[in-house]
Amino acid sequence: MDNKAKKIKELRESTGMNRREFCDYFDIPYRTVTEWERDMRHAPDYVVRLLEYYIRMEKLIKKDDEHYGERE
Q: Is residue 71 part of a domain?
A: no
Q: Which domain holds residue 45?
A: 3-65
Q: Is residue 55 part of a domain?
A: yes
pLDDT at residue 65, rounded to an integer: 53
Whether the predicted pLDDT of 40 surpasses 70: yes
Contact between 7 and 48 (Cβ < 8 Å): yes
**If you average pLDDT over every residue of the chain, what do you get?**
89
Q: Is residue 60 part of a domain?
A: yes
Whether the predicted pLDDT of 72 surpasses 50: no
Q: Is residue 72 part of a domain?
A: no
Distance (Å, whole) CA 39 – CA 70? 25
pTM above threshold 0.85:
no
Whether the predicted pLDDT of 26 surpasses 50: yes
- Which parts of the chain fold into alpha helices (H)? 3-15, 19-26, 30-37, 45-57
pLDDT at residue 31, rounded to an integer: 98
> Among candidates 12, 60, 71, which has minimal Cα distance to 37?
12
The number of domains in the chain is 1
